[in-house]
Amino acid sequence: MPTVKNDCTKIGWIGTGVMGLSMCRHIMEKGFAVTVYNRSRSKVEPLIEKGAVWASSPDKVAELSDVVFTMLGFPEDVREVYMGGKGIFSGVKKDSILVDMTTTSPSLAIEIYSFAAEKGVYAVDAPVSGGDVGARSGTLSIMVGGDPEVVEKIKPLMEAMGKKIVHQGPAGSGQHAKMCNQIVVAGTMIGVCESLLYGYKAGLDMKTMLSSISGGAAACWALDNMAPRILNRDFNPGFFVEHFIKDMGIALDEAKRMKLVLPGLALANQLYMSVLAHGGGKSGTQALILALERMSNISH
C-alpha cells in the first residue's frame, strides 16, 4: 500500500456521549483543531466552549476534516452517520481517514472499509475498553483493525485517548477483539455481583471483604471500579446496559456464525435483558446486581 497522504491536522469528531466527550477533549488538549457534531448539540457545548467548531451534519464534519472519528451507540447509528443522506461519505475528501470507535459488528466495519476504499478513503475500526473512567483519564485500551500504514499514521491521535493501542489485523479485527473483551466483561460482572450478594447475606462488612479479595486472584477492573458503585447504589452509566446488550448480541451472532456455543455469554445476556425489562437500559452495567437481587428476593 502506498504512503498515506494525510497530514492529520484537522480532526472531526462525531458522537459526544458518556465516553466520546472526554475522548474528543483529549484530542483538543493536544492542540488539534476539531470540528464536532452530535445529534444533541447541548452535549457538545463543553467542547465548543474550549474552541471546537460546530458542524450541522456528519457530511459537513467530513468536508472540514483530515481525520474523522465516530463514537456512536448502535450499528444502525453507525450506518446512518456514514452512509445516510447527510452522512460522512457524502462529504468526505479523498485520502481522508475515518476511524469508527463505536463497538459494532465486524461485518459493518468491513463494509465501511470497502466502501471507503472505493472512494479513495481509508477506514479503521478502533473500538475501546475502559468505560467512562478510562475515557476521562485517557487510559483506554484501543483495539484496531485496518491497514497497518493507516493505523501507524493515526497512532499519535489514539495515544491521546488510550494507554494501550494494539493493531489486531485487517478491517473488522478490532471489532472481533472487542467482542472477546465483552465476553470476559459479561462473565466477570456476574461474578462480581454474585460475590457481593454472597458477602451481604453472610453478614460481612462489604468494604472489608473487597479490600481482601481485590488484592488476590479475584483482582480485576470490574471489582475495583464497579463493586464500589454497587455498594453506593450508584447506577449511573459509565457504559449503558442497552449498549452492553447490543454488544453481547453481536458476539452471540458472530459465535453462531462460527458454530461456537457460548453458554456463559448467553446467560449474561439473559440477565441483562431482565435489567432492561425493568427499565434499566440507561443504567450502568453495574445495575446487573438489581436483577440478581430480585432473583434472591433481596431489597434495599
Task: Report which of 159, 158, 145 is spatially closest to residue 110, judged by C-alpha positions.
Answer: 145
Q: Is 282 a catalytic residue?
A: no
Rama region for 218: left / alpha / beta (φ>0; ψ in -120 to 50; rest): alpha
Q: CA 9 to CA 6: how far, in whole Å?
A: 8
Task: Report which of 81, 47, 46, 31 is spatially closest to residue 61, judged by C-alpha positions.
Answer: 81
CB of 71 within 8 A of CB of 38?
Answer: no
Residue of 178, 201, 256, 282 with catalytic role: 178
- The label of the residue with cell 488476590 reads 216
- The label of the residue with cell 456455543 reads 261
Active-site positions read 178
